[in-house]
Chain A
């Protein structure tokens, strides 16, 4: 497995800043954007392995962004991270293929484990497709 690339998407700049700082301290290779639209653009230009996506955002919301990301990069894994615990939204996200749906506040190690799990899943899927000659 190579190095994992992570894209963080959250419209709360303050929260994003703290998260970036904490993950960088743990040597995670990441990019951060503050809107769903910017995330889509980023995934088109340089797709990340794992996306951490806020659910409630101004403009394109998390669920729509997830849907778009899965169209652009089907193997990319998306972890929804939200302060808004809503079973229906969570189910919608999971049905669209989100890897996980985490509720803030989340321990940074917990997030890191989920990132590692998601990345491993993606890598294994890629290996499998390669070995099957897909």
Chain B
């Protein structure tokens, strides 16, 4: 009986606040305020999560370099915000969406598995003699030494005797000194954005490594293998130590000259030299290179090759094909007196021999240059630069027969590996050749069509030299003479220096072109320039003297000229390559993004729109956002709290719309069921309204005239959608508002449209989003509609995502 009375009372009087004590009403108000705050926090977290997801997508499609620090930070930010969103939804509806936690945990585990995919070092040996090395040992010995082992074992070409300190050796060294934790800490705590900050970090980490001790077992293994080498080659044999890091020399990744080499080292200093090579993993240019090429720090195992020094008469680099013209199959040999170091580091402009592959092979070009110095072994230890006497400096460093012999080796090496090769070689006193390094050559397409050469009226400022990397680009001249200059190097400048030193590679992501007075097409910096798609002109006489700092020039590397000003007709289309795509870090981000970015829950009215169907963090954020709006909507009704219940909007339009005031959206509190338009204080609602009524409505627009208006109108004029109490949230048109916020939901039949806007005081948190799905038309017309709407929104700066016939668009505070 009592229940019946209660029921009648509620039915007749609405059982609102009339039946409540002032304390109850105040409690409801407090509860609502807390809920509204949770709702706002959820919206802010949602905004942050979506922002980070967009940034991840931009990173994946763009050319901007990023490292693991970025990947981890992005993952952390999205995960934290998704977790906050779940938490705030739970505050709004305790216990109602428990399943979300399990889905979130499962997605987190999938992300964690990708992030934690660090593998242990391959193999079980600390040191491996070169004669046991071949391509099957690549994970253990690094690609550079695996290639050399292959040359020795499989091709029977001469390679100096030696051994490799393996990936396991590196792991042993790092673990023995507990270095990785400290290195990771420093790398991840690094917040500087300038090159000089990075320089400081690089120096600190290198110092950590060089001060560490080589564990006894590793030291013993190195010394024993070295002693064996001495027994084979004679007491006191000197060695070179070179990096053979995993991934180095892989196709498409040159790492040219980015790590250190130590030459002519005696037994007493071998361990010190080993640490220097390992430390060079963290040299400024190696770190920059990895960052720009998307190579994660923890994927690089620093194997070190140790080979007997060859008492060199001459040395250099040869390419089995022309590196800057993929139509040219000639073998290009660069040679200089002494060790090949002067050729690879660009300190001399070497002799060039070009050999045709005709049968028999034929020397088709021979350019003998003045080589001012040579690098030779110091009788004590290390190497020295020796000035050359005039006669020696201008005499060819190879005979024609020797050049042909070398070319034959290049062709054999290319045949064995099945692709063009970049080979470092040395000639001993007995004029026999040794291969010191052999790796895939990155050949680029020829950019210059001789028939289309358009001459420029004005003469160049400087010209000549060799095209080290093709193309043309324009920018202000910036001289690089010292390391300090690298730190100041501006974005978009032309790097001009005396020598193309490999360490200038640090600025290859900022330079538009490179001009040097010395160097050749086979130097390390030339490889890096080609890799980055930057025009480079080397060996240009008097470039430093004739060019002026800050002067805007056009470097036409194809025609070997540098002109004053920006000559648009010469500039080649931007060739700067997207070096991130396909890189290991890119791959990790891509795999993680699959757990985060795709949106599968598109239709809030579909039966699969539920927690258990959330496959990604985006699904979770989408689900929670939708349900949070719903929870805010139902609070007033569930608690019979008229202050926060829906009010029908009174406006001079043939539409039925309801408004829920979340906080300060009304000018004055509303007692009854209706709110006049002039009582609406919400800035975004008024703006949306202004747009909705901008064109006077004569009646419903034609059904296929456009998505939004059509769906809005059909939904709002339907008399079946009669006011507040009987209709559910899922088929009415509501504004949820506060002064700075508005969420408009419109549903009717198969349509769903939502607009949400935040225009608060906090820059960076504001946004406007629009979602649309469905329609009664056939699929192709629905699809055409969302494509059309997306194009319009795109014009207005929205980022738009289409999936089937659903559209999500968003624009944020710039």
Binding site for B on A (CB under 8 A): 56, 83-88, 90-91, 94, 100-101, 103-105, 109-110, 113, 117, 120-121, 124-125, 127-128, 131-132
Contact = CB atoms under 8 A, between A and B. Distances in A.
Contacts of A128: 30-31, 34
B72 A113 contact: no
A85 B27 contact: no
B483 to A, nearest CB: 26
Contact of A84 (B27, B34, B37, B188): B188
A84 to B, nearest CB: 5
Nearest to A114: B44
Contacts of A113: 762, 765
Interface stretch (B75-83, B223-231, B523-531, B645-653): B75-83
B764 A83 contact: no
Contacts of B111: 87
Interface string B149-192: 00000000000000000000000000000000000010011110
A85 B69 contact: yes
19 contacts: A56-B189, A84-B189, A85-B69, A85-B75, A85-B76, A86-B76, A86-B188, A87-B115, A91-B80, A91-B83, A94-B83, A101-B80, A103-B76, A113-B765, A117-B37, A124-B30, A128-B30, A131-B26, A131-B27
Contacts of B87: 94
Nearest to B115: A87
B72 A86 contact: yes
Nearest to A127: B30
Contacts of A86: 72, 76, 188
Contact of A105 (B27, B30, B44, B191): B191
Contacts of B33: 124, 127
Given A87-B111, A110-B764, A113-B762, A131 B30 contact: yes
A128 B28 CA distance: 9
A14 to B, nearest CB: 12
B77 A103 contact: yes
B764 A88 contact: no
B281 interface: no
Interface residues of B, number: 36
A7 to B, nearest CB: 21
A129 to B, nearest CB: 10
A132 B189 CA distance: 45
Among A91, A105, A125, find the residue whose CB has the most chain B CB atoms closer than 10 A. A91
Contacts of B185: 56, 84
B55 to A, nearest CB: 13
Interface string B65-92: 0000100110111011001100100000
Given A101-B80, A103-B73, A109-B762, 13 more contacts: A56-B189, A85-B69, A85-B72, A86-B72, A87-B112, A91-B83, A100-B80, A109-B763, A113-B762, A117-B40, A124-B30, A127-B33, A128-B34
Given A87-B115, A113-B762, A121-B41, A94 B84 contact: yes
A113 B41 CA distance: 11
B261 interface: no
Contacts of A117: 37, 40-41, 44
A87 B72 contact: yes
